Amino acid sequence: MADELPSAFGFALTCLRSARGWSQTRLARAVGKAKSLISRYEREGLIRETLDWLLGVLGYPREAADPLVFAHRLIYPDPLEDAASPLALTPEEQRDIDRACLATGLLAAEEMRAELIRKKKVEKAAAKRQEAEELWERLKVAANDERRDLVANFPDFRSWALAVRVCEASVRAAADKPENARELANLALFIAERVAEPEAFRSRLLGYCWAYVANSHRISEDYDGADEAFVQAWELWRAGSDSNSELLPEWRLFSLEASLRLDKRQLPQALELLERAREASRDNTIAVSRILLQKEHVLNLMGNIDGALAALAEAAPFVETSGSSDLLFALRFNMTEDLCGLERYTEVADLLPRVREAALERHNERELSRVLWLQAKLDAGQGRLEEAVSGLQLVRRDFLDQELPYTAAVASLDLAVVWLRAGRTAEVRELAAEMGAVFRAKKIRREALAALLLFCEAAKQETATVVLARRTIAEIERVRRSASPAA
C-alpha cells in the first residue's frame, strides 16, 4: 500500500493542478509530454526541479508547493516505529505530533510572511520619499508655472510621495510667507489630481492635500475658505480606503483642523479634534509630541494650567525620544511658563537655564524676549525686585517693537505689580501714563483697552493695587483668548 501513496512533490503537483482547474491532459499538452508521464509524476519519481518547471507552466511561484510538501507528512505519516519497542508511538500520538508541527510551521510561516511584507512596504515607501525629496529639490527652484508644467509633462513628478512632500513644504512656508503656503498647497493638490494610483488611495490623497489647502487659508485668516476646504477634505478622505494609513496619517487632518478651531477660538472643538488625533497617531513619537503640545496650548487658552501641565508631562517621554530640538524647546519653554503662572518658582529656576540655552542656539528674537520675560517673573517671584524691573522694562519694549500689544500690556502690568509691592507708586503712576498713551494707539479690543485704562486711572489717583493689576491682567488675557488672532 505504501508504494501506491503519492510522493510529497507529486501530492503538491496534484493539488495545485486541480486548484487551477487543469486536467492531466491539459498540462501534458501545455508541456509537450504524454499524459501518462504527468500521471506518473503525481505518483512517484518527480524531482524538485521538474516540479518547479511544471508550477511555472501552471502560473505558480516555486514556493507555492512548500506548504503542501510539509502537509504531506500529516496526511501520509511515516511508518510507525517497531511495535516491539515499549516506547513506540501509537498512530494517534504520531498524528498529534505531526499536527502540532504543521500548526507551528504554518504559524511561523505566516508571521514571517507578514513581517517580510511589512518590511518590503517600508522599503518601498522610503524609496518613494527619497525620490520625492530629489524631485522637490528640482521643483522648489522653479517658478510656479514651471512647476505645474513639470508635473503635467513628466510622469515622475506625478507621485503620491511628492504630493505629501509639497504639503510639508506648505506648512514650513506658512510662518513667514502665507502666500507661498497657499501656492504650495495648491501645487500638492495639482499633483494629487494626476497621480495614477487606485481610486480608493487617490481619494484619500486628494483629501489629505485638501486639508493642507484648508490650512493655507487658515494661515491667511480666510476662515470661511478654510472651513469649506475641510468639508472637501473630509468628504474625499472618507470616500477612500485606510489600507495605507502609514503613507497618509489621519492624525494630521485632525491636527490641522484643530489649529483652525483654535484660531477661531472654538476651543472645545479643538480639544475634541486633538483627542481624535491622539487616538489616530498610534503612539508615533513625533505625532504624539506635536498633538500633546497643541493640547497644552488649547488648555492654556481655556485657563486650565494644571491640565496644560498634565499634557506636557504626558508629552515629555515622546518629545525626549523624538530627537527634535524644536519639540524639545517647545516642551521646556511651555512647561516653564506654566509653572511660572502657578508661582512654582523653584521648579522654574531648575528649568529656565536649559530653556535659555536652547533659545540662544535658535537665534529667534521673539523666543529670546519671552525667555527674558520668564526670567523677570522668576526674579520677581524670588524677591529680586531690581533685576525683575530691569528685565520687565526691556521685554515690554521688545514686545511693542514686535507688534505684540496684548503681551506688551501684560508685561507692563507685571512691572506695575513689582513696583506696587515695593511701594513705588510714583513709578506706577508714570508707567500708567505711558501705557495709556501707547495702548490707545495699538490694535487691542475695546474691552481690554477699557480694563487697562481703568488701571491707569487708578494709578493716576494712587489707588491702584496689586489685586487690581492682577484683575486687569486676567481681563486682558481673557479678551486675548476670545479675540481673533488678527485683533
* Closest C-alpha to 452, from 465, 439, 434, 461: 439
Set of cell numbers at residue 134:
530629489
Half-sphere CA count of 61, side-chain side, radius 13 A: 4
Quickly list DSSP for 102-167.
HHHHHHHHHHHHHHHHHHHHHHHHHHHHHHHHHHHHHHTTS-HHHHHHHHHH-GGG--HHHHHHHH
Question: Residue type for 372, please?
Answer: L
Alpha-carbon gap, residue 6 to 36, rounded angstroms: 15
- Quick one: CA dihedral 116, 121, 124, 127, positive or negative? negative
Alpha-carbon gap, residue 47 to 55, rounded angstroms: 12
Alpha-carbon gap, residue 139 to 425, rounded angstroms: 61
Is the Cβ–Cβ distance between 212 and 178 less than 8 Å?
Answer: no
* Closest C-alpha to 206, from 176, 236, 165: 236
Which of left, alpha, beta for 195 (phi over 0: left; psi -120 to 50: alpha)? beta
Cβ contacts of 28 within 8 Å, gap of 6 or more = 34, 35, 37, 38
Alpha-carbon gap, residue 295 to 291, rounded angstroms: 6
Distance of CA 249 to the CA centre of its chain: 7
pLDDT on residue 122:
86
Is the Cβ–Cβ distance between 406 and 480 less than 8 Å?
Answer: yes
- Domains, the chain, in order of start with CATH, read 2-78 (1.10.260.40), 403-487 (no CATH)
**Cell 516642551 appears where?**
331
Quickly list DSSP for 457-470.
HHHHTT---HHHHH
Residues in the chain: 487
Is the Cβ–Cβ distance between 18 and 58 less than 8 Å?
Answer: no
* pLDDT tens column, 464-486: 888 888 888 777 776 665 554 43
Set of cell numbers at residue 99:
499536527
pLDDT on residue 176:
65
Half-sphere CA count of 438, side-chain side, radius 13 A: 20
State the chain's maximal CA–CA distance in angstroms: 117
Alpha-carbon gap, residue 229 to 233, rounded angstroms: 6
Q: pLDDT tens, position by position, for the chain (487 residues)?
A: 345 678 889 999 999 999 999 999 999 999 999 999 999 998 888 999 999 999 999 999 988 888 888 778 777 776 655 556 677 777 777 778 777 876 777 677 678 778 877 888 889 989 999 999 999 999 999 988 899 999 999 999 999 999 999 999 998 887 667 788 899 999 999 999 999 989 999 999 999 999 999 999 998 888 999 999 999 999 999 999 877 778 899 999 999 999 999 888 899 999 999 999 999 998 899 999 999 999 999 998 888 999 999 999 999 999 999 888 889 889 999 999 899 888 899 999 999 998 888 888 877 778 888 899 999 999 999 999 899 999 999 988 888 887 777 788 888 888 888 888 888 888 888 888 887 777 776 666 777 778 888 888 888 888 888 888 888 877 777 666 555 443 3
Set of cell numbers at residue 156:
515622475
R_g of the chain computed on alpha carbons: 35
pLDDT on residue 83:
58
What is the SS3 assignment for 59? coil
Which pTM was predicted?
0.71
pLDDT on residue 325:
84
pLDDT on residue 80:
59
Distance of CA 316 to the CA centre of its chain: 16
